[in-house]
Chains A and B, each alone.
Chain A
């Protein structure tokens, strides 16, 4: 009997082609869309097109599944998403950190709740449209490698995946370029072939996270307290609207007059202060990573070198890695890096192999 796979479909071209490829490879394919939020909850323009979790996207999934002959379901995971992703997103900003909600969603929702649903449905695997490879090594360990299309590499958001999860996951787009995926969608006349992609945070419909935070907290009867914007030398330069609205390295929107450009250096919710300084001060050569998950290698005991990414669009930088404990790590870069931001994910590579990742402490 052919193996059964539940494909996570967003309504975009990538997951559509992933489903198509698996069907062609002889899998029994079932499509599913995770309903994670609705506009009533998150605000924004309900009629804006092209977003995940909108009725239009769900309809697109239906067309694709119908075309490839797969059943399709909408799975309601909005409660879980709210509890584990949205609330964490808000609380991280409140604590002066800058979260990656997509990564949180991957580990808590996609590779947990969705995987569980797949088991319930009787599927052997789940599949996604990530441009990455999952490979089984000789020692039985699963590893993640960057996909062939390095411009679309999404391995950064996959560092939280456990070995158990990887054993049950297929990523059929690893060996393809985006252009090939689109070409294939066109060739098969898939409904989603021409769809533009969205790379923003799905539940912040207008890409304005400050608007989102304000409205979300208002609904809970909470607000943000304004406070001082302070220069590193201690001078008070102006007022901020709430520390949650600022992120490390930010220059625009500070609303202060100063002879030279100033950047956010530190966010201190304890004292309700945003500390600013010049660009040079943003460069640091070390960080502590915590809540480490090792993907392609066993937890290392000794020091080693790796290439390290400190944000999604960061060019990997050479660094010395020193394990402090099972899930804490000291990272010392060969060269200083700009705007190391607490709360962001830090991901380690050996060439194209994703070794593991964690969260920047602070």
Chain B
């Protein structure tokens, strides 16, 4: 049987149309966008066209959009770049407790090495932060607030507009990591009111290695890289023209399909959640059923470690994820679920299924049948589960 891919929040296959759009900029129009000759001009035009297209989609000026290598770099540039710029005036950062490691570890770096005070904005059981609590945490010293738009593990969507309002009332800059939301739900920087926003291509059927950071006109940051005037000196390095063209095409397709994909994935996810919870005892849904990127289904199976389920499913040809993946491949308890106040043992048994354009009802039926078998087998082997019953 063909393997079933249910890990679309990790990454996605590149859409054939996107590959086609990128190809000329890898071989024929390969020029360096900074060169003065015709090869360079072709590349530069393609790059700026891509920038315009993307800017239009997220409702910003092209001059406010900076290409990066992806979500992690965008997050680092926003958090570190802002902090370095303001460090002689302010020394406090607030981030959501369930942020991606790209934001979390950048902020922790500032706390450990740059004398910044770091506050984690708590989340409730469903993963939502509260604007009122944000208001309480903000002080004269606050340089930046960073709260993600949609969470990678649970899909929970924050009301960014309400949060930016609070931050701006106190004159504090606001960044959001929109890596998991851009292209899946409407992302409009003006409506959201953000000062900075990170996005990436590979979560929405685009290539890896390209992303962007929106930086509102007038917001100052210190660059992380040096060595050229590319991206107005804020992100030097020969431009990834093919990548930028790919990102633009990726978003163009995503926007066209957005409503249809959203509806289809909502249906599939609801079907899957109902079926799993109806056929397997002691399963918990983690996150929000209402306000979530619908393709993300995070479930805890009591008495078993997520890692064990993950491996058992992989052997049966089903690809999903437990917690967030890390370099070594070893799984670690999820800081997202623990921040949501989910019992550590239950959090350990969490598995994230993330669906996508290739997902079918038949696939999900098969996954449920394998889950029924494997969960009961693993529970037989689990001293924790037996003891509890």
Q: B140 in the interface, Cβ–Cβ < 8 Å?
A: no
Instruction: Please report the C-alpha to C-alpha distance between residue A75 and residue B322 in the assembled complex, in whole angstroms.
Output: 12
A150 at the interface (CB under 8 A from B): no
Q: Give the segment of A116-124, A153-161, A174-182, A189-197 that binds chain B.
A: A116-124
User: Would you call B330 and A74 a contact (CB within 8 A)?
Assistant: yes
Most buried by A among B315, B327, B378: B315
Q: What size tier do the contact residues of chain A reach?
A: 10 to 19
- Asked if B328 is at the interface of the complex by the 8 Å CB criterion, the answer is yes
State the CA gap A55–B332 with chains docked (Å). 16
Known: A116-B381, A117-B308, A120-B378. A35 touches B328 (CB 8 A): yes
A61-99: CB near B (< 8 Å → 1, else 0) gives 000000000010111101000000000000000000000
Q: Which of B322-339 contact A (CB under 8 A)?
A: 327-332
> Are B378 and A76 in contact, with the CB atoms below 8 A?
no
CB distance from A68 to the nearest CB of B (A): 17
CA distance A30 to B381 in the complex (A): 20
Once the chains are docked, how many angstroms separate the CA of A30 from the CA of B312?
12
Interfacial residues of chain A within 33-61, with CB under 8 A of chain B in the complex: 35, 55, 58
Chain B residues in 8 Å Cβ range of A35: 328, 330
Chain B stretch 345-389: residues in CB contact (< 8 A) with chain A: 377-378, 381
The reply to whether B330 and A120 form a contact with Cβ atoms under 8 Å apart is no
Quick check: is B311 within 8 A (CB to CB) of the other chain? yes
Closest approach, in angstroms, between the C-beta of A30 and any C-beta of chain B?
8
- Tell whether, in the assembled complex, residue A58 and residue B381 are in contact, meaning their CB atoms are under 8 Å apart: no
CB of B261 closer than 8 Å to a CB of A: no
- Which of A75, A76, A116, A120 contacts B312, CB < 8 Å? A120
> Given the complex, which residues of A lie within 8 Å of B311, measured CB to CB?
73, 117, 120-121
Contacts of A75 in B (CB 8 A): 307, 330
Nearest CB of B to A107, in Å: 18
Whether a CB of chain A sits under 8 angstroms from the CB of B61 is no
Within 8 A of A (CB), among B187-218: none
A76 touches B331 (CB 8 A): yes
A71 pairs with B314, CB closer than 8 A = yes
| In the bound complex, CA of A120 to CA of B313 (Å) | 11
Q: Which residues of the partner chain B approach A121 to less than 8 Å between Cβ atoms? A: 308, 311-312, 315
Distance, CA A121 to CA B309, complexed state (A): 9
Within the complex, what minimum Cβ distance (angstroms) separates B205 from chain A? 26
Chain A residues within 8 Å of B377, by CB:
122
A265 to chain B, nearest CB (A): 44
In the assembled complex, the Cα of A161 lies from the Cα of B342 at a distance in Å of: 38
Interface mask (B291-330 → A, CB under 8 Å = 1, otherwise 0): 0000000000000000110011011000000000001111
CA A30 – CA B311 in complex, angstroms? 11
| CB of A250, distance to nearest CB on chain B (Å) | 37
**CB closest chain-A residue, reference B309:** A120
Q: Which of A35, A58, A76, A119 has the most CB of B within 10 A?
A: A76
Name B314's closest neighbour in chain A (CB-CB).
A71
| Cα A120 to Cα B308 with chains together (Å) | 7
Residues of B within 8 A of A117 (CB): 308, 311
| Interface residues as binary, B47-87 with A (CB distance below 8 Å gives 1, 0 otherwise) | 00000000000000000000000000000000000000000
| Identity of the chain A residue whose Cβ is nearest the Cβ of B383 in the assembled complex | A116
Contacts of B330 in A (CB 8 A): 35, 74-76, 78
What CA separation (Å) do A58 and B329 show in the bound complex?
A: 9
Are A76 and B327 closer than 8 Å at their CB atoms?
no
**What's the Cα separation between A159 and B368 when bound, in Å?**
44
Q: Known interface pairs A119-B381, A120-B378, A120-B381. Does A73 touch B329 (Cβ–Cβ under 8 Å)?
A: yes
| Most chain A beta-carbon neighbours within 10 Å: one of B314, B329, B377 | B329
Closest chain B residue to A72, Cβ basis: B329
Q: Which of B315, B328, B331 contacts A122 (CB 8 A)?
A: B315
Residues on the B chain within 8 Å of A78, using CB: 330
In Å, the complex CA distance between A330 and B364 comes to: 63
Given contacts A116-B381, A117-B308, contact A74 B315 (CB under 8 A): no
Q: In the complex, A89 Cα to B312 Cα: how many Å? A: 33
Q: Is the CB of A55 within 8 A of B308?
A: no
- Specify which chain A residues have a CB less than 8 angstroms from the CB of B327 in the assembled complex: 55
| Complex CA distance for A208 and B378, rounded to whole angstroms | 41
Which residue of B has the minimal Cβ distance to A54?
Answer: B328
Chain B nearest CB from A285 CB (Å) reads 45
In the assembled complex, the CB of A156 is this many whole angstroms from the nearest CB of chain B, namely: 29
How far is A73 from B331 in the complex, measured between Cα atoms in Å?
A: 10
Q: Of B314, B329, B378, B381, which contacts A74 at CB under 8 A?
A: B329
Residues of B within 8 A of A74 (CB): 328-330
Q: How far is the CA of A71 from the CA of B319 in the complex (A)?
A: 13
How far apart are A42's CB and chain B's nearest CB, in angstroms? Answer: 15
Q: How far is the CA of A122 from the CA of B381 in the complex (A)?
A: 11
Complex Cα gap A55–B378 (Å):
29
- The answer for the CA separation of A144 and B155 in the assembled complex, in Å, is 52
What is the minimal beta-carbon distance from A346 to any residue of chain B, in angstroms? 32
Chain A nearest CB from B301 CB (Å) reads 13
Bound together, the chains give a CA A71 to CA B328 distance in angstroms of 15
Residues of A within 8 A of B378 (CB): 120
Q: Shortest 9 CB-CB distances between A and B: which pairs?
A: A76-B330, A74-B329, A35-B330, A74-B330, A120-B308, A121-B311, A74-B328, A58-B328, A119-B381
Which residues of A pack against B, CB within 8 Å? 30, 35, 55, 58, 71, 73-76, 78, 116-117, 119-122
List chain B positions with a Cβ less than 8 A from chain A: 307-308, 311-312, 314-315, 327-332, 377-378, 381
Offer 27 A-B interface pairs, CB within 8 angstroms, sorted by A: A30-B315, A35-B328, A35-B330, A55-B327, A55-B328, A71-B314, A71-B315, A73-B311, A73-B329, A74-B328, A74-B330, A75-B307, A75-B330, A76-B307, A76-B330, A76-B332, A78-B330, A116-B381, A119-B381, A120-B308, A120-B311, A120-B312, A121-B308, A121-B311, A122-B312, A122-B315, A122-B377
Q: 20 more A-B contacts (CB under 8 A) besides A76-B330, A122-B377?
A: A30-B315, A35-B330, A55-B328, A58-B328, A58-B329, A71-B314, A71-B315, A73-B311, A73-B314, A74-B328, A76-B332, A78-B330, A117-B311, A119-B381, A120-B311, A120-B378, A121-B312, A121-B315, A122-B312, A122-B315
